[in-house]
Structure 1
């Protein structure tokens, strides 16, 4: 094509619009889900030295200075003032962890795991109601597949204890808090960067977890310094990397899709347990893991949702 003014001079055409990488946000959430899959492993390895609530407290406490350093290093400034949504999200998450651990003492691991994962897939419905983010039609099929996969993965193995309705209700409460956490985190990202958000989330979690440890009667400190290894591992891998990737990804991923993608975490936990603790998956559990991965893939199909 040539210029209408001079046929010898090529016309200046505008550069093509930059390709919108809609997959980056979901990929970050997926990576965060993989990291969080190490959470039950780290918790299990640390229970000989600390109680579950104390492990959660130190996980947050060790992560906070690392996150603050990352804010200064990446953003080259202090964290901005937290908004109300980040305070809500931190509260939801800390209470979710506390109820999840409490529920595990009253019901089977299988029941508690399955019920809490319902909270992840329900995020899309909550976002539809409050954020007016209507999921794609394909997403509804992905939800059913994810629920079926979570049920098979969680309930297809050994029961490992007797179920108790009280524990199931605590796990259900934790599932509702998961939805609140992800929704509030997405809203918090509207005025805060990803690193700032996870830093303030962690500071709120430290305060609430400290109160919970005091009320639970657990010891704050292990008998020896080696007892801090598991919380330190959880701080770096689960809190900094896992939650950090999820919070960062939520800023560019529809909540409905993020809720399904993050369900990859029990698949990772099951795979690691198979290797580390010699706990092989049954055929039903393996099928459940495959269904969850298929649901994660299916949730990405269809027309991309708007990114805020």
Structure 2
């Protein structure tokens, strides 16, 4: 095997890692956008319009980039879409009841747990360093969430709702990884979003929310979430997931609560304490260790 052939998988994986980091940074703005849009729409309606605004953009991208219609969906992409819609729906709900850092931390525990699911179901055995990185990540995320002051707006009810979202996000990552075996990143995100539009509409009706805002300006936040967060952020994550081990991806996505907590510091009067700032640094160290401890197996 030539050196070029051996380095190709490494380059693909590092590109995947960079995509995941970029996606995690982008979706760090998601809870901020939600908070800003609650004056015009309910949390479920915001999620529904996020998917709805993203769908035509994704359709155009598939047709332009692939020069064909998307391939037939598999069962895993449908399951992933359901899991994602449930995840976002309950996460949005929790964000109205607890602090941004708390809700985001709890949901992202599902990203860490998916590494164990990938080990069990996908036979992706993590490197020993990954376990140490997970301990650091959970410790850092705990400090980021629980190290705040009472003014942070935490709520036990909101935290319990976020746990449901965390379980759903584990299913989303696992099913998305399986879906990528027969679909490329764009096709996967297209089918995910189509399923999410349907499930999102059901959740709007189930929660008794209005589909339309009183003013046209009420669509501004969902439009931002649809293009920047969903198309760009989730697009980078889904694409990066195709060439990155699920366990590593789950740790990398923990950059999101660091971003969310930092941004919400001034916007929502949820200042970071010294303990929380230290927790954020621990998460970043964990991300670095998780990736550094993984080696790409040579292709025969």
- TM-score w.r.t. the length of structure 2 is 0.92
The aligned counterpart of 1:11 is none
Higher helix share: 2
Give the corresponding residue for 1:284: 275
Task: Tell me the CA shift for residue 170 of structure 1.
Answer: 2.6
Q: Tell me how far apart the structure 2 counterparts of residues 200 and 301 of structure 1 sit (CA, whole Å).
A: 33
Alpha-carbon RMSD across the aligned residues, in angstroms, is 2.1
Distance 1:35 1:303, change over 3 A: closer
Taking a change above 3 Å as real, the CA distance of residues 148 and 234 of structure 1, as seen in their structure-2 partners, is same
Q: Is the 8 A contact 2:126 2:294 kept in 1?
A: no
- Once residues 64 and 158 of structure 1 are traced to their aligned partners in structure 2, the CA distance between those partners, rounded to angstroms, is 40
Residue 254 of structure 1: how far off its partner (Å): 0.2
Q: Give the secondary-structure state (helix, strand or coil) at the position aligned to 1:300.
A: helix
Aligned to 2:106: 115
1:237-293 C-alpha deviation (Å, 9 max, x unpaired):
110011100000110000000000001011111222235456442111111111111
Instruction: Spell out structure 1 runs of 4+ moving beyond 6 A.
Output: none
What does residue 83 of structure 1 align with?
74
Q: 1:195: Cα distance to partner? A: 0.3
**1:201 match:** 192
Aligned to 1:23: 14
Unaligned runs of 5+ in 2: none
Q: Provide the TM-score with structure 1 as the length reference.
A: 0.90
- Equivalent pairs counted in the alignment come to 295
Change (3 A) 1:179 1:305: farther
Contact map agreement 1:252 1:307 (CA 8 A) in 2: no
Structure 1 regions of 5+ residues with no counterpart?
1-13
Residue 19 of structure 1 aligns to a residue whose secondary structure is: helix
Structure 1 partner of 2:57: 66
**Which among 189, 204, 218 is matched to residue 209 of structure 2?**
218
Matched, 1:295 2:286: yes
Task: Describe the shift of the 1:137–1:216 C-alpha distance in structure 2 as closer, same or farther (beyond 3 A).
Answer: same
